[in-house]
């Protein structure tokens, strides 16, 4: 892939991810946070601009943080990450939509991470993940995109919902399908946000601690973290993790 093609693919992915960013920001009435304004332009150790990260907050207390990031990891390889973290006081799953697209092997994943024990709460998923379940089954069984399966990483599988949708072999031509899948997940998630159950103080503490441990485990167990550190350095990598994950 030459640089023209790589640039075109970057624009396609950024436009795709930015559309979801605008939809979520509008639907929830989010405002841009000043805390992470330094990440609006992300540069590698050589000073080359590689992408951006934007973080939003919610004045009403519904959302603790919403992070939107897009990075060029190498020519032709673009990564995007949308991660919305609700307040731990509310029984709302985290919304996650991320993908890495490149000519040699791409993947996209979507989930509503529950921050709770999946097997002890199957009734919750059946009641609240109605659109999610339907589109998950469609993607998995009716219209497979080369490979759709559970995460290959044990630490990710331990934290996901029963409908964690992960696909390999994704190309920009598949983005329209994944846009529709992500819209279904987002619709269920917004329904949950519209009428959330408030946790007790004890439940809030458990959820907060569990969420922090999940995120720290994902960071420490990520086999590709060293590549990010080589690109940005340890200090900026930690700053990105703080903005988008913690």
Q: Supply the DSSP symbol for 36.
A: T
Q: Which residues of the chain have pLDDT under 70?
A: 1-14, 103-105, 117-121, 141-158, 172
Largest CA distance in the chain: 55
* 95, 124, 153, 206, 213 from 210: Cα distances, Å: 16, 18, 19, 6, 5
* Distance between CA atoms of residues 136 and 131, nearest Å: 8
- Tell me the pairing of strands 42-43 and 49-57: antiparallel
Q: In this structure, are residues 146 and 167 in contact, taking their beta carbons and an 8 Å threshold?
A: yes
Indicate the fold that domain 3-244 takes in CATH.
oxygen-dependent coproporphyrinogen oxidase (3.40.1500)
Q: Residue 127 has which token pair?
A: 């009641």
Q: Residue 241 has which token pair?
A: 């993790």
3-state secondary structure at position 19: helix
Domain boundaries, the chain: 3-244
| pLDDT for res 237 | 92
| pLDDT for res 145 | 56
| pLDDT for res 149 | 61
Of the candidates 9, 163, 127, the residue with the CA atom closest to the CA atom of residue 73: 9
| pLDDT for res 192 | 92
Please give the backbone phi and psi of residue 83, each rounded to the nearest 5 degrees, phi first.
-135, 115
* 53, 97, 159, 199 from 79: Cα distances, Å: 11, 11, 21, 34
Per-residue model confidence as pLDDT tens digits over 85-107: 999 999 999 999 988 877 666 77
3-state secondary structure at position 30: coil
* Distance between CA atoms of residues 232 and 42, nearest Å: 8
Ramachandran region, residue 233 (left: φ > 0; alpha: ψ -120 to 50; beta: rest): left
Cβ of 3: how many Cβ atoms within 10 Å? 9
* Distance between CA atoms of residues 13 and 144, nearest Å: 21
Please give the backbone phi and psi of residue 43, each rounded to the nearest 5 degrees, phi first.
-120, 145
State the pTM of this model: 0.83
Per-residue model confidence as pLDDT tens digits over 15-54: 777 788 888 999 999 999 999 999 999 999 999 998 899 9
């Amino acid at each position: 892939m030459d640089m023209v093609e790589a640039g075109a693919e970057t624009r396609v992915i950024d436009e795709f991810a930015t559309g979801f960013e605008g939809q979520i920001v509008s639907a929830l009435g989010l405002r841009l946070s000043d805390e992470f304004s330094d990440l609006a332009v992300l540069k590698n150790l050589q000073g080359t601009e590689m992408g951006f990260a934007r973080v939003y907050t919610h004045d009403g207390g519904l959302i603790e943080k919403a992070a939107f990031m897009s990075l060029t990891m190498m020519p032709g390889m673009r990564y995007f990450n949308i991660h919305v973290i609700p307040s731990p006081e509310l029984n709302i799953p985290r919304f996650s939509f991320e993908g890495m697209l490149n000519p040699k092997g791409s993947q996209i994943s979507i989930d509503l991470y529950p921050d709770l024990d999946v097997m002890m709460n199957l009734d919750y998923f059946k009641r609240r993940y109605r659109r999610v379940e339907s589109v998950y089954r469609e993607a998995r069984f009716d219209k497979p995109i080369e490979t759709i399966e559970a995460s290959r990483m044990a630490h990710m599988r331990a934290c996901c919902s029963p409908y964690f949708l992960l696909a390999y072999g994704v190309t920009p031509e598949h983005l329209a399908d994944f846009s529709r899948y992500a819209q279904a997940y987002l619709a269920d998630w917004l329904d949950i946000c519209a009428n959330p159950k408030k946790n007790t103080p004890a439940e809030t503490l458990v959820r907060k601690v569990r969420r922090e441990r999940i995120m720290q485990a994902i960071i420490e167990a990520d086999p590709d973290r060293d590549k990010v550190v080589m690109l940005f350095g340890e200090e900026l990598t930690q700053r990105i993790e703080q903005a988008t994950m913690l």
